[in-house]
Amino acid sequence: INWFAHKYGYRNFEVGDTSRNFLPVDFLMMGESYHNNHHKNGGRANFGGIRWHEIDPTYQVIKVLNKLNIIQLAKQRELTVETVNKAA
């Protein structure tokens, strides 16, 4: 996924590298292909959620585990799109 996520896709943020979000296979990758979002804020549990179509299935599992008190999810700040480039 790393090679594709630095070559193809779209960008929500200018982060000083070539990272991109690679939507066509994201559901199969369980949210891991929101690479540009991850590079902007790597400590955020939800790699998706910046745009309406960015759904991170792994984050949904994390939220369920948090509700069951199996894990404790730290408070996250909201992110919005800063800069959007055309898809490669």
- In the chain, what are the domain boundaries? 4-67
pTM: 0.78
Structure tokens at 7: 């070559």
pLDDT surpasses 70 at 84: no
Structure tokens at 5: 């996520």
Q: What is the pLDDT of residue 67?
A: 96
pLDDT digits (tens, 9 = 90+) for 1-39: 788 889 999 999 999 999 999 887 787 889 888 999 999
H helix intervals, 1-88: 26-29, 35-40, 57-67
pLDDT surpasses 50 at 88: no
pLDDT surpasses 90 at 43: no
